Chain A
């Protein structure tokens, strides 16, 4: 099976712009979670989608949003970018509502200038 894929791998944006990141889970996986990784804060949970519904949400401002499509692919959007949004954004998928291990994609490196 193909692994989790994320596009784009690298992105440079300017403060105030918005950005959309994409994640394709492993085939058959219905849960997709998003994490932000920074040197200062480590790995922080953004949100999780299961069957097109947001099931869990982390402690991030409303500028961070996401959605999941019927084929389980997910996107996350960050509006009004700030310098502090520069990070590695990781997407992870898991097989079902009762499966706990998550499989991660390679991440999208976002740089905000």
Chain B
């Protein structure tokens, strides 16, 4: 089974600072990777996805992530944090094979943005 590790359950940054949320996956075959954001009392919103050879993926709200096969990582970044970015972020992975339709999630990283 796949597993996803998100380093740091809480990350705090100042408004305007770089946001870096870390995600590592365990798979010998590159899976499909996703970042989702969850605001309080809401469902998950897809930020971006990696499903192809393009290793740098751009998503919504200025976020991007880089797939690094050698490091089995898919870290999420944003050059300049905004107050509205405060939320919980989840990294997820799915196999390309028989468990299609099943996402494996990390434990989430709560992002706090200070004014």
Interface residues of A (CB under 8 A from B): 4, 6, 31, 33, 35, 42-43, 45, 48, 50, 55-56, 58, 90, 92, 94, 97-98, 100-107, 109
The 9 residue pairs across chains A and B that have the minimum distance between CB atoms: A48-B101, A104-B43, A43-B105, A104-B44, A106-B43, A100-B32, A56-B102, A42-B107, A45-B102
Partner of B34 from the list A33, A58, A101 (CB cut-off 8 Å) is A101
A45 to B92, CA, bound (A): 12
Residues in B whose Cβ lies below 8 Å from that of A104: 36, 43-46
Other than A98-B100, A102-B46, A106-B42, give 18 A-B pairs with Cβ distance below 8 A. A4-B43, A31-B101, A33-B101, A35-B103, A43-B103, A43-B108, A45-B103, A48-B101, A50-B101, A92-B44, A92-B103, A100-B32, A100-B51, A100-B94, A100-B100, A104-B44, A104-B45, A107-B43
With both beta carbons as reference points, the residue of chain A lying nearest to B44 in the complex is identified as: A104
Kindly state whether residue B28 has any CB partner on chain A within 8 Å: no
Partner of A56, one of B90, B99, B107: B99
Find out whether the CB atom of B43 lies under 8 angstroms from the CB atom of A97.
no
Write the residues of chain B forming the contact surface with A, with a CB cutoff of 8 angstroms. Answer: 32, 34, 36, 41-46, 49, 51, 90, 94, 99-108
Kindly provide the distance from the CB of A9 to the nearest chain B CB, expressed in whole angstroms.
Answer: 9
Neighbouring A residues of B49 by C-beta, 8 Å? 100-101
Whether A94 touches B101, Cβ cut-off 8 Å, given contacts A42-B108, A100-B49, is yes
